[in-house]
Amino acid sequence: MEKFFTVGQVCKCCGVSRSTILRMENRGLLSPARVDKNTGYRYYDIYNVTKILHIQMFLEMGLNYDDAYLYFASSGKSSELLAMLESRLTLFTRAYEEMKLRMDDKQHLQLEIIKLPEYVCYQKEFKGTDWSDKYRDMYNLFGEAVEKGYRPLLSKRLFVIHNNDGAAKEGENTYICCVPLDPSCADDSTVFYPSCTAFSMLCYGNEQTTIKAYAEFDEKIRTLGLKPTGCKRGIGIVSGYTGKEFSRENYVSRLVVPIENLDKEEIDRLSRSGLIKNR
């Protein structure tokens, strides 16, 4: 026998308010199973309850009502929503790995083949002799981006592009500081970087650890026979401009270099060797 539930019962079961249920109805996400013609009372069935719970799960994942509508309207086969979830999964996974590095509280290096997203950046070229210069220049460039009204992306970290001599070369080096922006900010002053395959090293420690990591990074590129297609980038995951709460011993950086695309067989071979993780 089919069961019907009052709005009060549904609210209690799903942990939502009446206004939330009405909001779902107004957005076309929910329709009562039955409406009493005489009283106007709404009644809901099991399918309504499970749908509300599903929508609540989406909201807890950081999605919104429009995303939920797209999911149900496409019978759960939306390529647009899938791409969004993949992007967020990558962000959550990265945040987990980076925090775990700090929780382990020991120097650590992690090698991966990853897919770099496309970037729209506000950037400038600088010259300096050490990491303090890079932090200063990046800090000032970020300030310029704020003053110009750009919208920096929290999901894409600030990064430095090093010349082909790497970051460990002594003396004055040329480098480009980059502030990733919301794509809607693109104008004649911004630079676009396409998505690409990249070799990555995630490292934890202070500036000296990172400098040593660059030398090891270069050696790994040669050992694995990878073919770079661009200059190395140092992505400041947790660094001097992340926040005053983070000490110099608690930095996390990702060193990457764009490489020629690898076929699946080559990636699987490198993964099986234990030399890298396949992302």
Residues 183 and 227: their CA atoms lie apart, in Å, by: 29
27-54 in b/e form (b: 16+ CB < 10 A) is eebbebbeeeeeeeebbbbeebbebbee
The confidence score (pLDDT) of residue 5 equals 92
The two tokens of residue 198 are 């990249």
The two tokens of residue 131 are 């990491």
| Average pLDDT rounded to a whole number, residues 240-252 | 58
The two tokens of residue 189 are 């002053």
DSSP-derived 3-state class of residue 183? helix
pLDDT of 52 > 90? The answer is: yes
| Average pLDDT rounded to a whole number, residues 94-113 | 69
Confidence class for position 165, pLDDT limits 50, 70, 90: low
Residue ranges of domains in the chain: 5-77, 91-278
Confidence class for position 246, pLDDT limits 50, 70, 90: low
The confidence score (pLDDT) of residue 2 equals 77
Contact 179, 148 (CB under 8 A): no
5-77: what fold?
A: Multidrug-efflux Transporter Regulator; Chain: A; Domain 2 (1.10.1660)
Same fold, 5-77 and 91-278: no
pLDDT of 101 > 70? The answer is: no
The confidence score (pLDDT) of residue 18 equals 94
- Global pTM reads 0.65
Of the two residues 57 and 214, the one the predictor is more confident about is: 57
pLDDT of 166 > 60? The answer is: no
pLDDT of 172 > 70? The answer is: yes
Q: Is domain 91-278 in CATH 1.20.1050.10, yes or no?
A: no
| Average pLDDT rounded to a whole number, residues 6-17 | 93
The confidence score (pLDDT) of residue 43 equals 94
| Average pLDDT rounded to a whole number, residues 24-36 | 93
The confidence score (pLDDT) of residue 277 equals 63
Residues 206 and 250: their CA atoms lie apart, in Å, by: 7
Q: Which tens digits make up the pLDDT trace of 206-224? A: 667 777 778 888 888 888 8
